[in-house]
């Protein structure tokens, strides 16, 4: 299985919970994981702000509680939410890190995987800039595969079987990353099928 390879090294590594090549944009929407809790799940999401619009910088503002509600009527409906993810991958493949991997990002909400609730406690969350029904870019798949290989190498309890969509851990509430996300392509890029 292609967990990590030499070509990934030029894209950085993980040290003390930080991806060395990611843009660092610390979010206050994080806290400590429960004592002794191991990281064992990777959750893939999508987000665009305003919905369906890309490259606005609003996701970064939202995850750092700096969203300007005057920019779109929709923002009034989410202004009070305090959410984050560990990583955000933009359409051009740029990667921003909001929360160190060892900390608990607020991305999953009410959720459960394999009978264990509160996925935020034991997961890493990656947001792709996108929508359920708009194809993701080649750059996003490449960046996601690279960072996932780094995560798998650093957190061996996360296996390919423990990489899921938000819809799989909160099926009553969430649909992301949606039908537009090509799981087969992603797993082929990881080298695990």
Q: How far is CA 40 from the centre of its chain?
A: 14
Distance CA 74, CA 47 (A): 13
110 φ, ψ (degrees, to nearest 5): -60, 120
The reply to whether 127 belongs to the active site is yes
Question: Residue 186 is encoded by which pair of tokens?
Answer: 């992603």
DSSP-derived 3-state class of residue 23: strand
Helix or strand run (H / E) with residue 36 = none
Q: Are 106 and 83 in contact (CB under 8 A)?
A: yes
- Side-chain-facing half-sphere of 17: CA atoms under 13 Å: 15
Q: Are 21 and 12 in contact (CB under 8 A)?
A: yes
Q: Are 130 and 136 in contact (CB under 8 A)?
A: yes
According to DSSP, the residues that pair with 42 across neighbouring strands are: 124, 163
Catalytic residue among 127, 129, 161, 172: 127
Q: How far is CA 101 from the centre of its chain?
A: 11
User: Which residues are known catalytic residues?
Assistant: 127
């Amino acid at each position: 299985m292609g967990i990590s390879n030499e070509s990934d090294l030029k894209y950085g590594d993980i040290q003390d919970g930080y991806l060395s090549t990611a843009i660092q944009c610390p979010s206050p929407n994080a806290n400590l994981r429960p004592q002794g809790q191991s990281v064992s799940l990777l959750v893939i999401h999508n987000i665009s702000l305003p919905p369906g619009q890309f490259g606005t910088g609003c996701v970064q503002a939202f995850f750092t509680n700096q969203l300007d509600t005057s920019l779109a009527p929709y923002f009034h409906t989410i202004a009070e939410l305090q959410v984050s993810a560990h990583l955000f991958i933009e359409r051009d493949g740029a990667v921003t890190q909001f929360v160190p991997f060892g900390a608990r990002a607020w991305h999953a909400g009410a959720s459960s995987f394999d009978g264990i609730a509160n996925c935020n406690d034991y997961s890493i969350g990656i947001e792709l800039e996108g929508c359920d029904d708009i194809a993701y870019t080649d750059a996003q798949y490449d960046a996601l595969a690279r960072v996932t290989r780094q995560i798998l190498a650093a957190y061996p309890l996360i296996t390919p079987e423990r990489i899921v969509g938000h819809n799989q851990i909160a099926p009553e509430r969430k649909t992301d990353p949606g039908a537009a996300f090509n799981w087969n392509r992603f797993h082929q890029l990881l080298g695990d099928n």
